[in-house]
Structure 1
Amino acid sequence: MWAFPVVGVGVIGVLVGGVCLVAQRKSLFGVLLSMEIFTLSVYVMVFGVIYLSGGLSGICLVFLAFGVCEAALGLSVLVSLIRSTGSDYVSGLVSGHF
């Protein structure tokens, strides 16, 4: 029955990630970090629910693999944006130089 506090930690992480995402207006790096907080928090919640249901299946590894792919794609977009505009400001995406 210890999975309920773990799910609660995941919910708090999702809320913190949402506040960070809303607060970030300039840097794309901050937006990517807040999305990683979302991913890890949802992973913690999924892990807690699956552990509570009785067994650990491969769904945790699949979700973690998707999270790693999301992080790699975000990093490649960040590097491409910095190479093309010279900074990681979100305003560089809006101006159409990307």
Structure 2
Amino acid sequence: MNYLLYFFILIGSSVVFSGMIVFVSKRKHLLSVLFSLEYMVLGIFIIFMFLLVTYNSEIFFSLIFLTLAVCEGALGLSILVSLVRSHGNDYFTSFNVLQC
């Protein structure tokens, strides 16, 4: 059973790490940044679920984690929509805070 736990922790860690690589390398568009953040949350959820199942803990905590992840995604998409409506694109270079 330990090997299976290590396998899923390795899978989740590789998902989180690949999400970080995309987050660092593809930060030109806001949508790609949001996708990479959701991908990292998915990897953390994989690790979290298998740790909870392995140690026979309550899986209720995973529902709280998923609820917070959905709220984070909805907030990110609402910010994306408002920025695209105000600026016309989702490039980070066009979001200058100093402009009126």
CA RMSD between the two structures = 1.4
2:51 paired residue number:
49
Instruction: Say whether the 8 Å CA contact 2:19–2:36 is kept in structure 1.
Output: yes
- CA deviation after TM superposition for structure 1 residue 57, in Å: 2.4
Structure 2, gaps ≥5 residues long: none
Residues 15 and 43 in structure 2, CA contact (< 8 A), matched pair in contact too: yes
Other-structure match for 2:39: 37
Unmatched segments (≥5 aa) in structure 1: none
CA distance in 2, matches of 1:10, 1:75: 24
| Percent identity over paired residues | 34
Supply the AA of the counterpart residue of 2:51. V
TM-score by length of 1: 0.92
Contact 1:4 / 1:48 at 8 angstroms: preserved in 2?
no
TM-score computed with the length of structure 2 as normaliser: 0.90
The offset of 1:54, in angstroms, is 1.5
**Residues in 1 aligned to 2:63 and 2:91: alpha-carbon distance in whole angstroms:** 33
Question: Counterparts of 1:12-31 in structure 2 under 5 Å?
Answer: 12-31=14-33
Runs of 4+ in 1 over 3 A off after TM superposition: none
- Give the Cα–Cα distance (whole angstroms) in 2 for the partners of residues 91 and 48 of structure 1: 40
Query: What residue number does 1:66 align with?
Result: 68
TM-superposed CA distance for 1:24, in Å, is 1.3
Looking at structure 2, the residues matched to 63 and 25 of structure 1 have their Cα atoms a distance apart, in angstroms, of 25
* CA–CA separation in structure 2 for the residues paired with 1:21 and 1:70: 16
